Amino acid sequence: MRHAFLLICILGSIFAASTALAGVKVGDAPQVESQTAHATPFDLKEQRGKVVLVEFWATWCGPCRKALPVYSKLVDAYDGKFVVAAVSIDGDRADMLRFMDALLPQARTQQGFNILWEKKHPLASQFGPPSIPTGYLIDPKGVVREVYTGFDKGSEAQLKKDIERLLSQPKSSAQKK
């Protein structure tokens, strides 16, 4: 219990500091170069032409447990046109992987569903998510078009609507909202 409290305090400090110093907003074109939890490189630039959701989550987050299976289903539904970069802010990689194996066993091999984990959380520092979960929807040109905090019963419908809108835009106007 003491360790969990300490972890929450540390993560809260990281987020408070990162929000004050940095933060990705709608209209920004962030760089995301990382590795998946299985040591495969992930580069947002390689996802150009697709809609990408960069989602910050944790194993202790109730809404995240509801959101991740929805995102996995949407990755399959959009057949390569929608990609998820699920960035875990958990402190222990092995615990996070056990959690994911129990929640979404297909995530290890699902094309387009990428589980990212970094020891010192540089992506969380760069993006500065205000809460967990927070998702950044990025258009096919690499520009953030929506930022979602939380996950509730209307979240899936809104995400689908936004994905459809971004996929239906002509390539020349994908940066306009």
Q: Which of 44, 64, 115, 123 is flagged as catalytic?
A: 64
Q: Which of 24, 52, 61, 115 is flagged as catalytic?
A: 61
DSSP for the chain reads: -HHHHHHHHHHHHHHHHHHHH----TT-----EEEBTTS-EEEGGGGTTSEEEEEEE-TT-HHHHHHHHHHHHHHHHTTTSEEEEEEE--S-HHHHHHHHHHH-GGGGT-TTEEEEE-TT-HHHHHH--SSSSEEEEE-TTS-EEEEEES--TTHHHHHHHHHHHHHHS-GGGTT--
9 is catalytic: no
Question: Would you please indicate which residues are annotated as catalytic (active-site) residues?
Answer: 61, 64
